[in-house]
């Protein structure tokens, strides 16, 4: 970390910064430039951030050089983390296909989608029982009944289940039924929820926030890891930009940066990123080629009757063709199917 | 709402859309263009959104013409809403100053800030007991003890208190101590939390999400209103853009649009938008001149020792000067002090 | 196109809109909703845009349904365009590798890079003689001397040359020396320049502007096509977003949309999008898998001494390995090498 | 400037950086941290940027601490610049109103608008003869004939004229007729054009690019100043963000930063930022209150027939009311009318 002092900073102000750093166990090296004096800090970035040095008089700004996360940092934990979701595994060097309905609407609909996922060769079933919706007038999910349907789907297909949890007091319930807990985009910085899932033993799929930087995303993962749960799968699902022709902008560069910076697996959800099924297959292929550790897509037997995000859902036969193609591509690129 | 059909849409597909609209109590007018057939819907936008027409076969896209919110819409409720927070009032045609510490750090610090707010002429005291922080290694707030300190500040100064609540199960606790509940930027689409505060009788200050459109912000307010709580104050606090010289980009145009679209009061938080105290006064003045119904600023007796957002805090004497100036400006513009 | 009238619009205002449309050779269908009256227009979107209907009294807003471009639209010209650059070809279903130095710095440097491109198996040589630089204190390119060096490189390697032109009065000069003219990101809406290159017979590589929508990008191409030059290659090179970990955000979804909407070839420049060489290979692979018609990368024999964008340049041996890998991937995906 | 070395950087690589800095007349201070070695540079930022240090082996990244601009920097030239446009003046502590038609459409239309500007009390007339339009099918301006009409308007009203120039070879022509040259948003980084207007003696109004940072905007101004022309007026006109309810997002915070960083006057164009007349007045008031040195607005006698941007144009009587209000506000805030 580097502290840039204001032009008019006094010696006493410079010394106060250096002292605060030393008290926290760090070292401070002062370089006096023609215009600015800068202070280089040696020690732990996460600790220095807690000092709130930017508030001190005479400080112009703080420049972060090290990374603020520790437990999820690849620099500190070079070995890749492999996350087990039931019998499936997600991790670097592998490729894991996740598929299922956006929302669980009925036992029949979910079961059809689950069978389609199984038949296509997917390893994990996705499906939402609790749905976060922009409008209070939209379908909000079946709740607990949806969880029971998902469990029945697992029973039938053998696929482990990942499903979203929306609030801290539902974590225990959802963890009882699901194999992995999903934290949705809108909740990436719902810190109470992050702490709660961090206290469980269940793997967590953490979606990137719509306007979260990669660093903020990893800091959100740090909240979970810090509570003792390191079974975290990161999921890139598009960020918000000015471009209106796709629902969001899929940031595969950000995905690749997350892989460089963290030992956690990083997967991609092209369905929610694009919002339109015609773009799901090209972006899924791109994700695999860019090195994503997995891909998650929506499937529905009759997208025209879907209660949530129908336009982005693949039909069972389309899912089958895509999964086959992605598995071939991943294999050709030296990846093991997870 | 207008449904744009694909070029290749069949008559049966067109008819299916029209039928679904009619079943929901709306009317559908079909216009056949040279390239696209479009279907104009007459009825309630909120209802049509729930139909998920975009999933139907043959549909290219949906274009929304009416607004998806109802209870918070000025078009349907032209009278402005005046929200009472203890003895203070916030609403159109008024100007209400809110000030206080970003975070409650100790009784002494909070009390000093509360007295500064009172002396400066502010009408409402802000202060965070539960703090959402990007890093798990940063100060997370005093929690319940912070609430007690805020209550003591109210006791001493007579100022009503607005403070943030982070999760549904804390709503009851926070509502016991506070005069108004704040929903923070990162929780704007934490729907479980919105529903919970909607079920209380306390006024709610709803901050705009970092990457929320004005429409999404009003839909979040609709969640609260729908539960029976219409005491909602909207707060613009900057959006995330590519510009790095300020923490966020204050969107006064968006603030003005929210005022045109909704009967709810809309205030501005220039401290969090800018992240730097030198820019707080000009943006506060701009907010008043643009028509904001109030302004909320951070104050700290010793910003250099602040545990949260010190660089943006005004000192007591600066708060006093600014409040005086804003009151004069608001009065000159014909506003009543709230 | 749909015209949404204001709630308070009069019959005369509605009629004025309809009349203006009819005068321009279109048809207007009026649907009276409970709240808004909407007018559906049948005819040419490009013509309707020229009418500036949004200025008419009583008009609330215009919703575009058709596309404003004609000559570059795939809907109107379904056959893919194949662009010849010297002996190379770029077009749908093919894969063409373009490589070379970001800037021409000296004959030796450029020649080394050109040989590296040739040896690696690239089909087109890139290299900048005129460089647009954010700072007036940065290297601005060798100008005409750079063009002569590029011609010598073509002489030696047989590779055709694409190079940027910065202003209308240089178009003739650059067209004399180069095989294709590049319009850079910052000039995507430099309409005088677009018109000028549109008047030549040389192929044009049109980079997407940093904050241009796909539609604006295609409209810029329309400017060129309209002047009689349809040899246009679109190049996605990253858009500006809030994410700081990569220089820009590569928008492969936008690339795919451009391919759906236009018959023109669309290639990807991962070097400029990422700004860092470690991310070039994964993004190049992703581009091929997403269906890009080509990839363009920077190469430099000693990136440490580069006068422009050294951090993103591959070394010759890295280029060789990447090109081999991309050709294999493209072939596996059924593409022909261009 | 601070150079952050990679973890694995060798001593020789560190030394190579230090040497290159010393050769350029700077000083280099090396601090070895536990993880990263950082090198603090003392000297001129603009010179260091030219060294392209980020390309050197072993360098992880460069962190800029000083500013890359010199001639336009307030830190180096603390005295405010007052720019004379005919008899009008624009500069810090003043308030200058600029008004006129978006585009010159005919002598009658322009003259009516010019008289309206004059009657309202504006000091400078704006009007476009050369129009940059997204679509080649939109009205492109009257060109030279438009310049002659503007000159006639000046003759009649006494107001000096600012008008846009689109390409280098038109600069001489436009400079002959106009009192000030406008560089539009899309041309902010058209460096050939910047150099050309920098070589004239005419004042230049430089609009901020749609996705330009404040620093890039000031660097564009540096291009002009470097050629000997320091009569530069910066104009904030909205940036591109995800928010669709206004055409662009007016960045008054960025405007205020430009004022802190530069001695040049900074004005605001709320008409083009908002795209809708209802938002022009509130944003114009906000601009004045935030400290803008002037405001520029569109006026048209019959917005319904405007050939460009009619929805944002004020009618003459609206311009009169707004100008009166802004003059009163500026005077109350201690500003002198320019």
C94-153 pLDDT, tens digit each: 999 999 999 999 999 999 999 999 999 999 999 999 999 999 988 899 999 999 999 999
Q: Are residues B17 and B133 in the same domain?
A: no
C248-277 pLDDT, tens digit each: 999 999 999 999 999 999 999 999 999 999
Q: Are residues C308 and C205 in the same domain?
A: yes
Examine the pLDDT at D34 and tell me if it is beyond 80.
no
Q: Which residue of D has its CA nearest to B333?
A: D329
Q: How far is C243 from chain A (nearest CA, A)?
A: 5
The share of chain B scoring above pLDDT 90, in percent, equals 82
Residue A172, pLDDT score: 97
- Spell out which residues of chain B touch residue C41, defining contact as CB-CB under 8 Å: 33
Examine the pLDDT at B159 and tell me if it is beyond 90.
yes
Residue D107, pLDDT score: 96
∠ CA(B174), CA(B176), CA(B177), 5° rounding? 70
Q: Is D31:A40 a contact under the CB 8 Å cutoff?
A: yes
* H helical segments located in B227-274: 252-261, 270-274
- What is the average per-residue pLDDT within B71-98? 96
Examine the pLDDT at C34 and tell me if it is beyond 80.
no
Cβ contact, residue pair B63, C63, below 8 Å: yes
Of the residues D209, D252, D268, the best mutation for testing chain B's interface (the one with the most B CB atoms within 10 Å of its CB) is: D252
Residue B49, pLDDT score: 84
Q: Are residues D38 and D177 in the same domain?
A: no
- Spell out which residues of chain C touch residue A251, defining contact as CB-CB under 8 Å: 241, 243, 249-250
Structural domain contains residue A317: yes
CB-CB: which of D135, D191, D305 is closest to C166?
D191
Examine the pLDDT at A66 and tell me if it is beyond 90.
no
Which of C63, C92, C110 corresponds to the end of one domain?
C63
Of the residues B6, B9, B31, B210, the best mutation for testing chain C's interface (the one with the most C CB atoms within 10 Å of its CB) is: B31
- What is the average per-residue pLDDT within D146-155? 98
Q: How far apart are CA C116 and CA C299, in angstroms?
A: 8
Cβ contact, residue pair D193, C167, below 8 Å: yes
CB-CB: which of D54, D136, D306 is closest to C222?
D136
Cβ contact, residue pair A36, D66, below 8 Å: yes
Which letter does DSSP use for residue B299 in this model? B
Structural domain contains residue D74: no
Q: How far is C334 from chain D (nearest CA, A)?
A: 36
Structural domain including D141 reads: 83-337
Structural domain contains residue C72: no
- Spell out which residues of chain C touch residue A213, defining contact as CB-CB under 8 Å: 242-245
Which residues of chain C have a Cβ shorter than 8 Å from any chain B Cβ?
A: 2, 4, 7, 29, 31-36, 38, 40-43, 63, 65-66, 75, 240-242, 244
Lowest mean pLDDT across A199-208, A302-311, B196-205: A302-311
Q: Are residues B135 and B12 in the same domain?
A: no
Which residues of chain B have a Cβ shorter than 8 Å from any chain D Cβ?
A: 211, 213-215, 238-239, 241-246, 249-254, 256-257, 260, 273-274, 278-279, 282-283, 285-291, 329, 332
Q: How far is A82 from chain B (nearest CA, A)?
A: 24
Rounded mean pLDDT of chain A? 95
Examine the pLDDT at C154 and tell me if it is beyond 90.
yes
D178-203 pLDDT, tens digit each: 999 999 999 999 999 999 999 999 99
Cβ contact, residue pair B242, D282, below 8 Å: no
Lowest mean pLDDT across A269-278, B110-119, B263-272, C19-28: C19-28
Residue B46, pLDDT score: 82
Q: Are residues B130 and B14 in the same domain?
A: no
D228-279 pLDDT, tens digit each: 999 999 999 999 999 999 999 999 999 999 999 999 999 999 999 999 999 9
- What is the average per-residue pLDDT within A251-275? 98
Q: How far is A18 from chain B (nearest CA, A)?
A: 14
Q: Which residue of B has its CA nearest to A16?
A: B304
C280-305 pLDDT, tens digit each: 999 999 999 999 999 999 999 998 88
Structural domain contains residue D333: yes
The share of chain A scoring above pLDDT 70, in percent, equals 100
Q: Are residues D189 and D107 in the same domain?
A: yes
Q: How far is A12 from chain B (nearest CA, A)?
A: 13
Q: How far is C100 from chain A (nearest CA, A)?
A: 22
Q: Look up tokens 């704007």; give the residue.
A: B188
**pTM for this structure?**
0.95
Q: How far is D15 from chain A (nearest CA, A)?
A: 18
Q: Which residue of C has its CA nearest to B247?
A: C242
3-state secondary structure chain C: CEEEECCCCCHHHHHHHHHHHHHCCCEEEEEECCCCEEEEEECCHHHHHHCCHHHCCCEEEEECCCCCCCCCECCCCCCCCCEEECCEEECCCEEEEEEECCECCCHHHHHHHHHHHHHHCCCEEECECCCCCCCCCCCCCCCHHHHHHHHHHHHHHCCCEEEECCCHHHHHHHHHHCCEEEECHHHCCCHHHHHHHHCCCCCEEEECCCCCCHHHHHHHHHHHHHCCCCCEEEEECCECCCCCCCCCECCHHHHHHHHHHECCCEEECHHHHHCCHHHHHHHHHHHHHHCCCEEEEEECCCHHHCCCCHHHCECHHHHHHHHHHHHHHHHHCCCEEC
Q: Are residues A87 and A36 in the same domain?
A: no
Q: How far is B61 from chain C (nearest CA, A)?
A: 9
Q: How far apart are CA C136 and CA D216, in angstroms?
A: 11
Q: Which residue of C has its CA nearest to A259?
A: C279
Residue D32, pLDDT score: 81
Structural domain contains residue A68: no
Q: How many folded domains does chain B comprise?
A: 2
Q: Are residues D245 and D165 in the same domain?
A: yes
CB-CB: which of D49, D59, D240 is closest to C135?
D49
CB-CB: which of C2, C63, C240 is closest to B242?
C240
Residue A33, pLDDT score: 74
Q: Are residues C156 and C192 in the same domain?
A: yes
Cβ contact, residue pair B63, C65, below 8 Å: yes
Here the ipTM equals: 0.94
Q: Are residues C19 and C140 in the same domain?
A: no
Of the residues A23, A62, A101, A137, the best mutation for testing chain B's interface (the one with the most B CB atoms within 10 Å of its CB) is: A137
B99-147 pLDDT, tens digit each: 999 999 999 999 999 999 999 999 999 999 999 999 998 889 999 999 9
Q: A282 φ, ψ to 5°?
A: -60, -40
* H helical segments located in chain D: 11-23, 45-50, 107-120, 144-157, 171-177, 191-198, 214-226, 252-261, 270-274, 280-290, 316-332
- Spell out which residues of chain A touch residue B136, defining contact as CB-CB under 8 Å: 191, 219, 222-223, 226
Task: Provide the CATH number for the domain around residue D23.
Answer: 3.30.70.1140
D48-105 pLDDT, tens digit each: 888 889 889 999 988 888 889 999 999 999 999 999 999 999 999 999 999 999 999 9
A contact chains, 3+ CB pairs < 8 A: B, C, D
Q: Which residue of B has its CA nearest to D217?
A: B243
Of the residues D52, D58, D210, the best mutation for testing chain C's interface (the one with the most C CB atoms within 10 Å of its CB) is: D52
Q: How far apart are CA C183 and CA C166, in angstroms?
A: 7
Q: How far is D243 from chain C (nearest CA, A)?
A: 13
Of the residues A5, A7, A21, A38, the best mutation for testing chain D's interface (the one with the most D CB atoms within 10 Å of its CB) is: A38
Structural domain contains residue C195: yes
Structural domain contains residue D68: no
Q: Which residues pair with D27 in a beta bridge?
A: D42
Examine the pLDDT at C30 and tell me if it is beyond 80.
yes
Residue C22, pLDDT score: 92
Cβ contact, residue pair B136, A226, below 8 Å: yes
Examine the pLDDT at B1 and tell me if it is beyond 80.
yes
Residue B64, pLDDT score: 84
Q: Are residues A254 and A224 in the same domain?
A: yes
Task: Provide the CATH number for the domain around residue D280.
Answer: 3.20.20.70
Q: Are residues C247 and C123 in the same domain?
A: yes
Structural domain contains residue B276: yes
CB-CB: which of A252, A253, A278 is closest to C260?
A278
């Amino acid at each position: 970390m580097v502290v840039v002092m204001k032009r008019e900073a006094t010696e006493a102000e410079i010394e106060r910064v250096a002292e605060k750093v030393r008290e926290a166990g760090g070292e401070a090296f002062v370089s006096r430039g023609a215009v600015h004096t800068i202070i280089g800090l040696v020690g732990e970035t996460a600790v220095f951030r807690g000092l709130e040095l930017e508030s001190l008089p005479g400080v112009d700004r703080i420049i972060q050089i090290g990374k603020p996360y520790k437990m999820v940092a690849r620099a500190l934990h070079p070995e890749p983390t492999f996350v087990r979701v039931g019998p499936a595994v997600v991790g670097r060097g592998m490729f894991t296909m996740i598929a299922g309905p956006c929302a669980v609407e009925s036992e029949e609909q979910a079961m059809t989608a689950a069978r389609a996922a199984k038949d296509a060769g997917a390893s994990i079933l996705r499906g939402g029982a609790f749905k976060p919706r922009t409008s209070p007038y939209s379908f909000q999910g079946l709740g607990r009944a949806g969880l029971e349907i998902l469990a029945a789907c697992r029973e039938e297909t053998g696929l482990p289940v990942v499903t979203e949890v929306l609030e801290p007091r539902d974590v225990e319930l959802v963890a009882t039924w699901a194999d992995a807990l999903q934290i949705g985009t809108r909740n990436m910085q719902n810190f109470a929820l992050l702490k709660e899932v961090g206290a469980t033993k269940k793997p967590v799929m953490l979606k990137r926030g719509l306007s979260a930087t990669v660093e903020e995303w990893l800091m959100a993962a740090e909240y979970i890891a810090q509570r003792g749960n390191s079974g975290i799968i990161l999921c890139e699902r598009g960020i918000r930009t000015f471009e209106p022709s796709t629902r969001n902008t899929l940031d595969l560069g950000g995905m690749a940066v997350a892989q460089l910076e963290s030992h956690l697996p990083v997967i991609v959800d092209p369905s929610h990123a694009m919002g339109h099924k015609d773009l799901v297959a090209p972006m899924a292929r791109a994700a695999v080629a860019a090195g994503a550790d997995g891909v998650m897509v929506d499937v529905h037997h009759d997208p025209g009757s879907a209660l949530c995000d129908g336009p982005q859902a693949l039909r069972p036969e389309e899912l089958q063709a895509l999964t086959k193609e992605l598995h071939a591509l991943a294999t050709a690129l030296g990846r093991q199917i997870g």
